[in-house]
Each structure stands twice: as structure tokens, then as C-alpha cells.
Structure 1
């Protein structure tokens, strides 16, 4: 009886060990899969459209931003339209890691949310939700620097202006906007619209697709939901 009981206990212990090992492997695989992705969305937002809503906006503590597209984020994405999120809670945003580029972030990656801020909470959210899913390729500094480099390499407002499309509260053809951006960027970005305080459709965000090196622009494998009508407003700021 004692031997049988001992053997039974060993069997149960062995079975438990296998189950525990299997659970650990599943967690490791899930974590590894979360770190893999196919491309980035480099998302730019128009400040005039962010502020021209029923909830309005608050300027950063550094003052009113320039009348130009600003960075919303650099988001890892899958070709099927899905995306990894919040991949490593053990690697939170650390402002000291980007202290040498903080002034550039305040200029190009500013926050318009209320209350007014210096942008740190915005960058924290973007790193924790999106940046940690690219940490196998980029440090915090490299991730934010890559976004700044991308912003310096594109000029969507210039491309639109060259086609006679300006932030003057006028209404423009969505097709004309897409054609102007494609000509400027060399690739067709996703164009996303929002509603202003009066319910009018307005140009809001651009989704520029980038390879996993975070520097090479590519054709988008998939586009985000547009929300745009055939004619959209381009609000002033």
C-alpha cells in the first residue's frame, strides 16, 4: 500500500510537472508571437482636426504647436490588420532614455489632450502600448528616434499644398487628397477622417506604412478604416 501510494504520488507529480511545463511553454510562445509583427503604421495627425471637435483640445505647456502634421505613433502591425499591444509591462517608459531628444519630441510628437502637458504621458502611453512590441528590435531611444527620423523624411503638408490643397477650412475631394499624398510619399497612405464640432467630415490622420526597419516606406499591406466621405474639410489651425 505504501509503495503504491508513493508511486501514485510520483505519477501525479510528474503529470503536474508536464502540465506546468506546457503552460510555461504556451506563455513563452505567446510572448514571442507578440514580439513579431509585419510592418509599422507611422501615424500622423492634423492638429486642426484634433482641436476642431466637440471636446476641443489643450495646447502643450510649451505653447501652440506648428500648423503641420504631428506624430501620433509608430505602431507595429500584422498584415491581416491586427496588431500586438502592451507586450512587456516589465519595460515601462523611462523619460531619461530620451532626454537628449526630448525637445524634438515636444516639437514633433506633442500632445493636444487636456489638461495641458509636456508630452510625457503621451509618450508613456505610446511606448507601453506599441513600443514594447518592437523592443526586440529597438531600444526606447531608437524607437522614438526612428519616429523623429521618419517625420523629418516626409512632408505630407507640402505635398498637399503643391496640389492646391491647403488647411483653409475648405472642402476637398478625397481622391485629390489621396493622389497628392501618393505623389509626395511615393506610396499610398491610409487617410482617416473625423467629425468636427458641427458633424462635418474632416481630414484627421495619415497612416504611412513602413517596413520593420522603421525607416523604409512601403505599400500598405492593409489600410485602416477610413471614415471619410468623398469630400472632406481641411480645417485651419
Structure 2
């Protein structure tokens, strides 16, 4: 009888362990990444305005917003591991490159650690089956190096000069240069002009290779959008 009792307890413990393992597996389960870059001129040219980082005004270039795990149905995981806190020492060797390519324009002015902490906790912890913290930020930096979005647009005659450009022309220029259809998001300035704000490209679950997006975000843009100076 006692042996039978212990056998039941052992089986229950095994079931409990397997349920925890399965739960952990689903936390890191996703279909692709959105790699999102923002135009700083559009971020600043709103009623909210912006604050330059403590390192000074960023370069007039697209900056990384984030590398976000997503599902094909349009939903996404977030804040997947409350025990995985942001540790700035793990990215100390990337700090200067992050300040250049992954800057923050949020107020008040900062070095960027609060922004990077938010990106890691909300999005990065959902990709821990692929990356640790250092690898996550390093992957974003490497992805940015593969395509120079600003140069791609300039080559197509689309410049940050406060002029208006057809949204279709912007999308076509990026697709022709990269081979992939981008997602484009816009914001609105104080004069209610639709502005080119963010460009989405999709990345496979390894976080290294660009792919055609399984799903594009809905474009909240007019057919003609302003490309503001910065």
C-alpha cells in the first residue's frame, strides 16, 4: 500500500514538472520578429516633442525602436520572464553603438538604459530561447547594418526635406533594395500632416535573417506623407 502511495505521488510530481516545462516552452514560442526602425524627425515633430540624449543630438538617421517577437495572427508575447531583469553591465561593451544606432528621444534626457531596459523586459525576455540579453541587443545592431534605410530612400529621390512623398513610392523603394515588403507606420504633426515615422521589416526566429512578413502592421498613413527634417 505504501509503495503504491509513493508511486502515485511520484507520478503526480512528474506531471507537474512536465506541465511547467510545457508552459515555459510556450513562453518563448513565436513565429517571427518585427525589426522596427524610427525616423527621429517624426518623433520630435509632434506636440509631445522630444529630448535629445545626454550624448547630444542623434545622427540624422533611422534609429532602432526594437526587435519584437510576434505571432502570425497579429498578437505578440510580452513581459515573458519577470525573473529576467535588465542588467546594464551585460551590454557595457555595446553602449556606444547602442547610443548611436538604438537611441532614445524620450524626455527627460538620459543615457538610454531606461529605454533599453523596457525593450528587454517587454520584448527581449520573450526570445530567451534564442538570445540572452547581450545577444538580443547585438542582434538588433547587426540587423541595422544589413540595410541602410535612409540611403535606400535617398537613392530613390526620397529625402528628409519636409516634402511630401507617395507612400507607395516609399514602400516600393525599400522593397526593391531589400527584396522584402516593408510595413510603414506614420504619426501626425501639430499641423495634422501625416509623417513617415516607422518602418517594419520581418526577421526569422533565429533573429538573423530578413524574411517576407507573414503579417504587416496596419498602415495609419495618408497616401502622401511628409518626410520631416531632423
Are 1:190 and 2:183 counterparts? Answer: yes
Does the 8 A contact of 1:202 with 1:232 survive in 2? yes
How many angstroms does 1:30 deviate by? 3.5
Aligned equivalent of 1:227, options 216, 220, 225? 220
- Correspondence 1:82-97 to 2 at 5 A: 82-97=75-90
**What's the counterpart of residue 67 of structure 2?**
74
Q: Higher Cα Rg: structure 1 or 2? A: 1
Does the 8 A contact of 1:155 with 1:184 survive in 2? no
**What's the counterpart of residue 131 of structure 2?**
138
Q: Secondary structure at the match of 1:161?
A: helix
Q: 1:37-62 deviations in whole A, cap 9, x for unaligned? A: 11110000000000011100000000
Does the 8 A contact of 1:211 with 1:217 survive in 2? yes
How many angstroms does 1:27 deviate by? 5.4
What's the Cα RMSD here? 1.8
Does the 8 A contact of 1:59 with 1:111 survive in 2? yes
Q: Secondary structure at the match of 2:210?
A: coil
- Correspondence 1:58-73 to 2 at 5 A: 58-73=51-66
Q: 1:145-186 deviations in whole A, cap 9, x for unaligned? A: 010001111111111111110000000001101001111211
- Correspondence 1:1-237 to 2 at 5 A: 28-237=21-230
Q: Secondary structure at the match of 1:36?
A: coil
Q: Secondary structure at the match of 1:165?
A: coil
Counterpart CA distance in 2 for 1:188 and 1:98 is 31
Q: Secondary structure at the match of 2:229?
A: coil
Does the 8 A contact of 1:39 with 1:209 survive in 2? yes
Counterpart CA distance in 2 for 1:199 and 1:31 is 45
Report how many aligned residue pairs link the two structures: 223
Q: Secondary structure at the match of 2:121?
A: helix
Counterpart CA distance in 2 for 1:74 and 1:51 is 22
**What's the counterpart of residue 4 of structure 1?**
none
Counterpart CA distance in 2 for 1:189 and 1:46 is 15
Counterpart CA distance in 2 for 1:25 and 1:47 is 47
Superposition misfits of 4+ residues, deviation over 6 angstroms: 20-24
Q: Give unpaired runs (5+ residues) of structure 2.
A: none
